[in-house]
Amino acid sequence: MPLTNQQYNAIIRQYDLIRIKNKHIHDDRLEDVRTKAPEYDELDKKISELSVEVSKQILTPGITEEKKKEIKKELDENLRDIENAKKEILIRLYNDPHYLDPIYTCSKCKDTGYVDNITEYSMKSQCDCFKKKAIDLIYGDSNLKNITINENFNTFDLSLYPDTPSDELSGVSPREYMRNLVEETKSFVRNFDKKHGNFLFYGQAGVGKTFLSNCIAKELLDTGHSVIYFTSFQLFELLSIGAPADKWNLHQQYEALLDSDLLILDDCGTEVSNTFTVSRLFQLLNERALLRKSTIISTNLSIREFRDVYSERIFSRITSSYTLLKLTGSDIRIRRKINRTL
């Protein structure tokens, strides 16, 4: 989903407010320095006076180029001495020679949202901080954040899973099995910034695949990561758009899918797909893997059915770089409703 003009302006306004806030902080710092060390202000005035004086000397009629170089060299030396004196004052007062350096929330783009980078589409590229703001704005107002209020690790109820040993799980109960599985996903969250990982959750409907995905999303959203949630139907509908006239919008949409820290693709196998969309899906998963961006896929299909529905390339990509986790047990949505009526 590309940014609307209103959304774009809202992000630019955020940067305006950030710059205003940081300027106020810088102005307060400068005023504090001037109050505590009036000589600092005198040094600034000295710089202006030197610059004016040197300009006059250089513009003197008949002055030689060699003389100009001597004057500029002397100016550079004087300016360097003044800057050192200013730093000594800052060190004495704040133990920080960079105390009055410009303040930026994002040093990469200097709080503009853009960095120099010539591409096919523009002379500048969106900074990572802009991309995160865009993702948060576009998808943050979706129901994902609202859903995770109720669907998170704190509300994941293991008692909804049977506690009796299961032959399917080699004698382990579904409850114990799910307890171990939840711990594995919590470990994924704890190491999210250190270790790249992906999940394929599979199992019959209602066993908690989407709930568990939302648990992970909640933890990552709370730690400032960007998360995009798509049902497979929504994703394939987006991937099916490909007219040349939509090139710029498609570029923005695809960038968002690539840039999100976590992409959740829910209910895979329920969509209507074709060779083109399956090919685009492989491209998306492959590029996210190369960028070391994590993806969670959930499906009601068995592993064999999943392989049959999608291409061999996708199946190979997933089996080689995803952790396959089968969720098992009875339909927890039904059990939850029953518990509420008791």
DSSP string computed for 272-327: ---HHHHHHHHHHHHHHHHTT-EEEEEESS-HHHHHHHS-HHHHHHHHHHSEEEE-
Region 142-341: CATH code: 3.40.50.300
Nearest to 189 by CA among 148, 233, 142: 148
Q: What is the pLDDT of residue 242?
A: 53
Give me the phi and psi of 260, to 5 degrees please. Answer: -60, 140
Whole-model pTM over 0.75: no
| Neighbour-count burial of 116, counting CB atoms closer than 10 A to its CB (0-12 exposed, 13-18 middle, 19+ buried) | exposed
Per-residue tens of pLDDT for the chain, all 342 residues: 456 677 788 899 999 999 999 999 999 999 999 999 999 999 999 998 998 888 888 888 888 888 888 888 998 999 999 999 999 999 999 999 999 999 999 999 999 999 986 555 556 788 888 888 887 776 654 557 778 888 999 999 998 898 988 878 888 998 999 999 999 999 999 999 998 899 999 999 889 999 999 999 999 888 878 888 888 888 888 777 654 444 545 566 677 788 888 999 999 988 877 888 888 889 899 999 999 999 999 999 999 999 888 888 889 989 899 999 999 877 777 666 666 555
Q: Which tokens sit at 169?
A: 């799980």
Q: What is the pLDDT of residue 187?
A: 96
Place of tokens 């790249």: 196
Q: What is the pLDDT of residue 244?
A: 40
Q: What is the pLDDT of residue 10?
A: 87
